């Protein structure tokens, strides 16, 4: 298994700019003990394991308190941010069906920057997403959102912060809009929920984003991100028990017994719940605050370093440690290719083209290594001939879309396209994405891209592409 992992993203060296939140060995070892102690326990039936029930209720209560909730705020632990969001959207849908008369397909209004879990929820639950462009500063545009509200709107969404550029939306204005139109307002604090309260305590400006804002009905916050807990842990919170009830499910006619479930999954891992409780007890507010200070210091080091490198810039004014790196003069995806070649795992973003950085405790003390490689990457790209031509060409559009995808996806795509075009399945295609331009030049629109991405997903989840 160790041999299988040699090509994995190198998070232990602080070289992943997304996906992993590393609290350091001491905290991780402690949390793992709690996880394995409850490795076999199942939180599906809370009456069988009073321990897990207590841990879950206390994790939810601590999270509610952290996020400005009063004693009426209740919640549920889920497997992750996506499940928290799915449950909140499902609750909003069932609430609207029960308490508001909506004719036709209900709509949810969301800023362009909102997480794909929202359109995913719409696709699962038969709702229509209505996307609204963000402002120049990448924050949601409440005025534009107001103009899209119709008699079919049930839910409006804001993020704290949104993942692409790390900016907190004007939650007070969005919640006010919801309140005045009798709508549900969800705040997605998946990435910020366990960071922003401490960022604010440390004196950085953080706009109001939590239950202290009237009109906020539900929130999501991920323990497996800046909560530094084991994967598979998030919290969804509701303003009161009446709203949460719409997220529940019960089926009473099964020969197997009366079935009730608070989440989308059936069996729920005891380990993820126990680990979250343990790490919260272990760190406490003081522990999270001091980790937040380290992470914000590392973020400032990166921002200062980036400001000194000509050609790259941080987009907008991020409120915490989630950033986008863009450029006005360079092909930023080519910079990404150069960083990949230097061992960094870094995601490509679009509209505008940028690279994503989530700075976390695993980066503390390693920011200079990143800046050194970024400087080298920018230098290498700046001297590459032919870039200008490529940027102007029609192919660049297709190429840019493809180059945002993770390496394994592009490889699978290239192999798929190659075999479809009869080029044969040599597994030896180059790691860089530029050679794909020629092969993928016939890709005319996003619909085709979606089909290709689904093809790639299919190819990657087969035994023959390992
Ligand atoms: C990570 C994230 C999510 C989704 O969480 P998962 O745990 O990946 O399902 C939702 N919203 C935001 C803003 C996020 O950063």
User: Ligand 1: which residue has its CA nearest to atom 6?
Assistant: 81
pLDDT at 394: 45
pTM: 0.91
Residue-wise pLDDT tens for the chain (466 aa)? 999 999 999 999 999 999 999 999 999 999 999 999 999 999 998 899 999 999 999 999 999 999 999 999 999 999 999 999 999 999 999 999 999 989 999 999 999 999 999 999 999 999 999 999 999 999 999 999 999 999 999 999 999 999 999 999 999 999 999 999 999 999 999 999 999 999 999 999 999 999 999 999 999 999 999 999 999 999 999 999 999 999 999 999 999 999 999 999 999 999 999 999 999 999 999 999 999 999 999 999 999 999 999 999 999 999 999 999 999 999 999 999 999 999 999 999 999 999 999 999 999 999 999 999 999 999 999 866 555 545 544 455 556 666 666 666 666 666 665 555 444 444 444 345 444 544 455 555 667 788 888 988 898 888 875 4
Centre of ligand 1 to C-alpha 81, Å, is 5
pLDDT of the residue at 46: 85
- Centre of ligand 1 to C-alpha 385, Å, is 38
**Phi/psi zone of residue 462: left (φ > 0), alpha (ψ -120 to 50 degrees), beta?**
beta
Tell me which residues have their CB closer than 6 angstroms to ligand 1.
80-82, 115, 117, 159, 163, 188, 190-191, 222, 234
3.30.565.10, 2.115.10.20, 1.10.340.30, 3.40.640.10: which CATH number matches 25-280?
3.40.640.10
Domain boundaries, the chain: 25-280, 385-460
Q: Which of 78, 161, 187, 222 to mutate to test the pocket of ligand 1 (most atoms within 8 A of CB)?
A: 222
CA of 82 to the centre of ligand 1 (A): 6
Q: What angle do CA 196, 276, 366 make, to 5 degrees?
A: 55
Tokens describing residue 165: 């550029």
Residues 113 and 161: their CA atoms lie apart, in Å, by 10
* pLDDT at residue 456, rounded to an integer: 86
Nearest to 459 by CA among 409, 423, 419, 398: 409
pLDDT per residue over 359-396, tens digit each?
999 999 999 999 999 999 999 998 665 555 455 444 55
CB 16 within 8 A of CB 9: yes
**Which atom belonging to ligand 1 lies closest to the Cα atom of 159?**
13
């Amino acid at each position: 298994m160790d041999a299988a992992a040699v090509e994995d993203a190198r998070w232990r060296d602080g070289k992943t700019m997304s996906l992993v939140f590393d609290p350091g060995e001491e905290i991780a070892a402690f949390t793992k003990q709690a996880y394995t102690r409850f490795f076999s326990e199942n939180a599906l039936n809370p009456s069988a394991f009073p321990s897990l029930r207590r841990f879950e209720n206390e994790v939810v209560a601590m999270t509610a308190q952290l996020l400005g909730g009063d004693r009426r705020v209740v919640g549920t632990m889920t497997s992750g941010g996506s499940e928290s969001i799915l449950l909140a959207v499902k609750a909003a849908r069932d609430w609207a069906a029960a308490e508001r008369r909506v004719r036709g397909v209900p709509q949810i209004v969301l800023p362009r920057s909102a997480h794909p879990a929202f359109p995913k929820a719409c696709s699962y639950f038969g709702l229509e997403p209505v996307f609204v462009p963000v402002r120049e500063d990448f924050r949601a545009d409440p005025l534009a959102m107001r103009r899209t509200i119709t008699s079919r709107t049930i839910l409006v969404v804001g993020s704290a912060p949104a993942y692409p550029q790390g900016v907190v939306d004007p939650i007070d204005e969005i919640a006010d809009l919801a309140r005045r139109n009798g709508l549900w307002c969800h705040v997605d604090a998946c990435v910020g929920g366990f960071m922003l309260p401490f960022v604010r305590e440390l004196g950085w400006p953080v706009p109001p984003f939590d239950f202290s804002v009237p009109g906020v009905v539900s929130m999501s916050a991920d323990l497996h991100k800046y909560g530094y807990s084991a994967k598979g842990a998030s919290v969804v919170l509701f303003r009161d028990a009446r709203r949460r009830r719409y997220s529940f499910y019960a089926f009473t006619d099964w020969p197997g017994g009366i079935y009730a479930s608070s989440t989308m999954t059936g069996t729920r891992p005891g380990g993820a719940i126990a680990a979250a409780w343990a790490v919260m007890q272990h760190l406490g507010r003081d522990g999270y605050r001091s980790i937040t200070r380290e992470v914000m210091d590392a973020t400032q080091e990166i921002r200062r370093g980036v400001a000194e490198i000509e050609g790259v810039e941080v987009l907008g004014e991020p409120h915490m440690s989630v950033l986008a790196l863009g450029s006005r003069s360079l092909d930023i995806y080519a910079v990404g290719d150069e960083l990949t070649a230097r061992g960094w795992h870094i995601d490509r973003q679009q509209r505008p083209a940028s690279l994503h950085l989530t700075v976390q405790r695993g980066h503390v003390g390693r920011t200079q290594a990143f800046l050194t490689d970024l400087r080298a990457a920018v230098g290498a790209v700046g001297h590459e001939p032919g870039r200008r031509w490529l940027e102007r060409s029609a192919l660049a559009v297709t190429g840019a879309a493809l180059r945002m995808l993770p390496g394994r996806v592009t490889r699978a795509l290239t192999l798929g396209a190659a075999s479809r075009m009869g080029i044969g399945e040599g597994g030896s295609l180059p790691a860089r994405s530029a050679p794909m331009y020629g092969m993928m030049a016939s890709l005319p629109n996003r619909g085709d891209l979606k089909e290709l991405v689904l093809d790639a997903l299919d190819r990657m989840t087969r035994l023959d592409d390992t």
